[in-house]
Amino acid sequence: MSLEVAGVEFGYRRHSVLEGIDLTVAEGAFCALLGPNGSGKSTLTKILARILTPRTGTVRFAGRDLLRIPRREHAKTVSYVPQSSEAPFELTVREAVLLGRTPHIGLLPTARDWDVVEAAIDQLGLAELRHRHLSELSGGQAQRVLIARALAQEPRVLLLDEPTSALDLRYQIETLRIVRTITRERGVTALIAIHDLNHAAHFCDQAVLLHGGRIVADGPPAEAFDAETLGRVYGLEVRVERSGDTVDVRPAELGGAPGADRPEPLGRP
């Protein structure tokens, strides 16, 4: 039961952001959406989360078009982790995670809703903090609360919009590890908009490179990353070093190991 994005186009007035996105992500796969700022990866994530409405296109999952089912049904299948969130009111971790049950509950949460919330809190190692206020948490802890909230939705598809951008290295790795665990253990399909190519290469099963609103590369990271395409997309000469299944990308001017896949310089006379 894969996620199939077909013919998705999006734009503001005359300015086009996404031009015909076709993409398939296998069930339980962890897919990275990569590309420079303005390439459309965040926009695509927001379309899948039903925050933005595309001009045309379909997103099929489990036999339904996720863009056309009722919003509440969509929220029971797809959950979304924003880059960050600030709450203007004092809220405890439990209350924040309970928000994830919004599409499931009527007036008041049931015992099962609370069980799901507690399990999500435990899964993300927030047990000690459950009665703390959000304002007392560190950036990494706050990010984990947002992921716990998304898990409390009991999604089949998990979307993350640059969740690691504001985090230090340790929390970046931790976040990616948590998401990968979720995909492995529960068969949840995850899509993450992310900047760091090497993190994507290490943690994700699929790398999708966007440039100017189009997909320019799609496949397992080791195959999708190639020095010429990356150089063109980022406007920067890069080296791509492969060894077995792993791949390492670095700007050419930072030097590289001998024997690396060294491209002809691009866009230079």
Who's near 251: CB < 8 A, 6+ residues apart?
Answer: 236, 237, 238, 239
State yes or no: residue 100 binds other proteins (CB under 8 A).
yes
State yes or no: residue 89 binds other proteins (CB under 8 A).
yes
Per rule CB under 8 A, count of chain residues that contact other proteins: 56
Q: At closest approach, how far in Å is the CB of 186 from other proteins?
A: 5
Q: At closest approach, how far in Å is the CB of 19 from other proteins?
A: 23
Q: Using CB atoms within 10 Å of the CB of residue 83, give its burial: 0 to 12 exposed, 13 to 18 middle, 19+ buried.
A: middle
C-beta closer to other proteins: residue 185 or 253: 185
| Contacts with other proteins, 166-195, as mask; x by CB under 8 A | -------------------xxxx-------
Q: At closest approach, how far in Å is the CB of 134 from other proteins?
A: 9
| Contacts with other proteins, 114-143, as mask; x by CB under 8 A | xxx-xxx-xx---xx-x----x--------
The Cα–Cα gap between 263 and 202 comes to 22
The residues binding other proteins (CB under 8 A) are 1, 46, 49-51, 62, 71-76, 78-80, 82, 85-91, 95-96, 99-100, 102-103, 105, 107-108, 111, 114-116, 118-120, 122-123, 127-128, 130, 135, 149, 151, 153-156, 159, 185-188
